[in-house]
Amino acid sequence: MDTLLLITLLIVLLAVAFDFINGFHDTANSIATSVSTKALTPRSAIILASVMNFIGAMTFTGVAKTITKDIVDPFTLDNGSLVIIAALIAAIAWNLITWYYGIPSSSSHALIGSIAGAAIAAAGFSALNYSGFLTIIVALIASPLLAFSVGFIVYSIFKVVFRNNNLSKTNRRFRSIQIATAALQAYSHGTNDAQKAMGIITMALIVNNYQSSDDIQTWVQFICALAMALGTAMGGWKIIKTVGGKIMKIRPVNGVAADITGAAVIFGATFIHLPVSTTHVISSSILGVGTSHRLRGVKWGTAQTMLITWFITLPISATIAGISYMILNLFF
């Protein structure tokens, strides 16, 4: 087996590992509210999220193509394999660190920052595709702001529409509805998050001359969808506790409003082929709903910790990736 093929297989394994870790790291995104409100048992919620994540990942490839070519150009990237390996090492490391401490950080920020950091270490700032890269950064920043605003509006509408309803009966109905909205949100999560690993593998296939276009091959899509689903099945209970309870006390009506908001914003991004942080979007949806419900009911200390983590993820993952690249470059 030649060296180039071995390197490519290593990258595929690392990308699948990233996708698997992303699955259990981000399980909380789609099911935390439904578990918190007891609309679903943890076991049922995880099975539902796993299945819907897999289906969502098999549905679209536009975001994967954006990851493949819009951060750096794989067709002109020097030492492309080392850049990709360094990026994956950094993204995996940051995901594991934040998972260990139960912090709902962004796998998307980690991966995008890592690709940029490794590419800059390899070829300087000129390696970045600034037009595509800045568009992605704008999407990462704008999507949680949009989710917060939409969540606030959706729950404000709910308050008007259901203001004369009996609270216990309303919660009982919304607990049933929340099963469907949790499934919808898990599906939307799969349509965006799993595609990032697909994009990385495709980038590796291009830089190692195994394909000459940015098309996502079916086997790539399948193994990434499967890795995401299996990772989701492992669960991420520490982050579920943060998203599901430490932001605000969630009732079924709050959960439905947050689920609808998160799914809508993620679907919107997927349809225009932009990667967004599902963690940011869903957490911001809950914050928007909570602010509309009762401003003092939101635990702003938790929100502040999450916000700081969101901001530091890009530069820290880029730095780790840059250092990883320089170390790898000494030996290979």
Structure tokens at 270: 């997927």
Cα gap 247→241, rounded to integer Å: 9
Angstrom distance (rounded) from CA 325 to CA 323: 5
On whether the CB atoms of residues 185 and 263 are closer than 8 A, the answer is yes
Q: What is the tens place of the pLDDT at every residue in 138-162?
A: 999 999 999 999 999 999 999 888 8
Phi, then psi, of 148 in degrees rounded to 5: -60, -45
Average pLDDT in the chain: 87
What percentage of residues in the chain have a pLDDT greater than 90?
57
Q: What is the pLDDT of residue 244?
A: 47
Residues 225-272 have pLDDT tens digits of 999 999 888 765 555 555 545 565 778 888 899 999 999 999 999 999
- Rounded to two decimals, the pTM is 0.90
Cα separation, 325 vs 118, whole angstroms: 6
Where do we find the tokens 């980038």?
203
Tokens 């809508």 — which residue? 264
Burial class (CB in 10 A: 0-12, 13-18, 19+), 131: exposed
What is the amino acid identity at position 36? S
CB within 8 A of 316, min separation 6: which ones? 94, 113
Q: Which tokens in the block code for residue 73?
A: 């150009």
The answer to whether 82 touches 325, Cβ cutoff 8 Å, is yes
Reduced to 3 states (helix: H, G, I; strand: E, B; else coil), residue 76 is: coil
CB within 8 Å of 271: residues ≥ 6 apart: 62
d(Cα 140, Cα 313) in Å, to the nearest integer? 12
Burial of residue 319 (number of CB atoms within 10 Å: 0-12, 13-18, 19+): middle
